[in-house]
């Protein structure tokens, strides 16, 4: 009984990993070494000071947790909220200056945080 349950957990974990690998917009090693795009995302996160409202570890403050938030939206929806300000009426300011690779990077970085693959805090370029 317990054994059967464990097999289920392992299979579910494998399926989740496979899905994450198919879809992952980021590459990460050892929790904090990331590819160039994700690095741009981290720098953009810091420069735009998203943490003022969403918390240094993306877990929410005035604004909601982005660990949870990134599970709800496609990349296009994310960009709509962050860049175009589609939630501006609810307190999320538009950031038109983040268009393009900065928004791409932000999505990659936050997706990695939401997936639990990127550790909280500073990240570093991969070798």
Residue 90 CA to chain centroid, in angstroms? 21
- Report d(CA 103, CA 97) in Å as an integer: 9
The smaller minimum CB distance to ligand HEC, of residues 1 and 62, is found at: 62
Q: Count residues contacting ligand HEC (CB under 6 A)?
A: 22
Q: Are 34 and 123 in contact (CB under 8 A)?
A: yes
Nearest Cα residue to 26 out of 3, 45, 7: 45
Using CB under 6 A as the binding rule, whether residue 75 contacts ligand HEC is answered as no
Using CB under 6 A as the binding rule, whether residue 53 contacts ligand HEC is answered as yes
Candidate residues 41, 55, 63, 112; the one interacting with ligand HEC per rule CB under 6 A = 63
Please report the sign of the dihedral spanned by the C-alpha atoms of residue 124, residue 109, residue 44, residue 67.
negative
The smaller minimum CB distance to ligand HEC, of residues 54 and 115, is found at: 54
**Do you know the residue count of the chain?**
127
Using CB under 6 A as the binding rule, whether residue 20 contacts ligand HEC is answered as no
Candidate residues 82, 108, 118, 123; the one interacting with ligand HEC per rule CB under 6 A = 82
Please report the sign of the dihedral spanned by the C-alpha atoms of residue 14, residue 17, residue 23, residue 27.
negative
Site residues for ligand HEC per CB under 6 A: 48, 50, 52-54, 62-64, 66, 69, 72, 78, 81-82, 87, 90-93, 95, 98, 106
């Amino acid at each position: 009984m317990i054994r059967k349950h464990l097999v289920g957990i392992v299979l579910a974990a494998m399926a989740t990993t496979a899905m994450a690998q198919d879809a992952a917009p980021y590459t990460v090693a050892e929790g904090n070494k990331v590819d160039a795009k994700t690095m741009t995302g981290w720098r953009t996160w810091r420069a735009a000071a998203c943490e003022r409202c969403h918390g240094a570890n993306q877990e929410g403050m005035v604004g909601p947790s982005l660990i949870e938030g990134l599970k709800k939206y496609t990349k296009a929806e994310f960009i709509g909220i962050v860049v175009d300000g589609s939630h501006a009426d609810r307190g999320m300011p538009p950031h038109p200056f983040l268009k393009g690779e900065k928004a791409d990077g932000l999505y990659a970085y936050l997706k990695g945080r939401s997936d639990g693959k990127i550790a909280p805090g500073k990240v570093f370029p991969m070798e």
